[in-house]
Amino acid sequence: MGDYHVHLHDHGPYQGVGPPLGEYPPGHIEAYVEQAARAGLSEVGFTEHLYRCVESESVLGPFWENEPRQDLAAETEAMVREDRTLSLETYVEAVVAAKSRGLPVKLGLEVDFMPDSIDAVLELLEPYPWDFLIGAIHWIGGWSVDYGISAHEFARRGVRRAYEDYFALKTQLAASGAVDVLAHVDVVKRFGHVPAEVPTDLYAEVVEAAANSGTAVEVSSAGLRKPIAEIFPTPSLLRMFN
């Protein structure tokens, strides 16, 4: 068994732990492989965030500028500017070099899906030797749906509508076939926002789209460490992917 959703750098400004942001010194990748082995895992798939790489600026663009809510746009802009410290080129080189040293690693990427930029994103990624791509919805328009600072939007929008907006994008991503795997498919629940009624209708749409395009779904324990304290996807949704 492996872990196929692993990031090599923390979010936010550099806190002095680990190598400086965007650097992959000797032993950095080895340390992840050793830690995985201690947990009984035989392989590690790295999935750096595309939006964190400086190369993504030209394809994702200032996507928050079309967000009508100024507060959400400002929060996203500040977050992206703070987090965009990595180099796609350097990341790929580091993982490819680790593979050629014989380490049990795979080269992946967590791709931010936005309908308007996905074609340009795939063009940017085309030259690199990916083993797999995972796809995520982190933004609905300019709203960072899984970013704590912007969680106030759930109260304004309503939880059901937030789910509708989120799953509409996730379904579009699943249908596009642009990625191999859907990452944290119901991350919209991260902070504990759950609609009064289980949104089976929204779940069914993403399940059907994924089945039609042959896109896999990630099962992630990361949700256990979030306020929702539950795996992604929620067990009732996971069963629907059967």
Note the residues at the interface with Zn ion (CB under 5 A): 136
Q: How far apart are CA 170 and CA 42, in angstroms?
A: 30
The burial of 197, by beta-carbon neighbours within 10 Å (0-12 exposed, 13-18 middle, 19 or more buried), is given as exposed
Shortest Å, Cβ 184 to Zn ion: 6
CB of 146 to Zn ion, least distance (A): 7
Q: Which is nearer to Zn ion, 136 or 217 (CB)?
A: 136
Cβ nearer to Zn ion, comparing 136 with 174: 136
Supply angle C-alpha 106, 112, 117, rounded to 5.
125
CB of 26 to Zn ion, least distance (A): 28
Closer by beta carbon to Zn ion, 112 or else 153: 112
If the CB atoms of residues 52 and 157 are measured against Zn ion, the closer one turns out to be: 52
Mapped onto helix, strand or coil, the DSSP state of residue 11 is coil
Tell me if 136 sits within 8 A of 187, measured CB to CB. yes
To the nearest whole angstrom, how small is the minimum distance from the Cβ of residue 92 to Zn ion?
Answer: 19
- Nearer residue to Zn ion within complex by CB, 10 or 34: 10
d(C-alpha 137, C-alpha 187), whole Å: 8
Backbone angles phi, psi at 40, to 5 degrees: 85, 15
**Cα 143–146–148 angle (5° rounding)?**
90
Cβ 143 to Zn ion shortest distance, Å: 15
Beta carbon nearer to Zn ion, 51 or 196: 51
Q: How far is the CB of 35 from Zn ion (least distance, A)?
A: 20
For Zn ion, which is the closer residue by CB, 137 or 209? 137
Distance (Å) of CA 231 to CA 8, 44, 60, 205, 208: 22, 20, 29, 20, 21
At closest approach, how far in Å is the CB of 207 from Zn ion?
20
CB-nearest residue to Zn ion: 136
Q: How far apart are the first and last CA of the chain?
A: 20
Lookup: tokens for 140: 């609905």
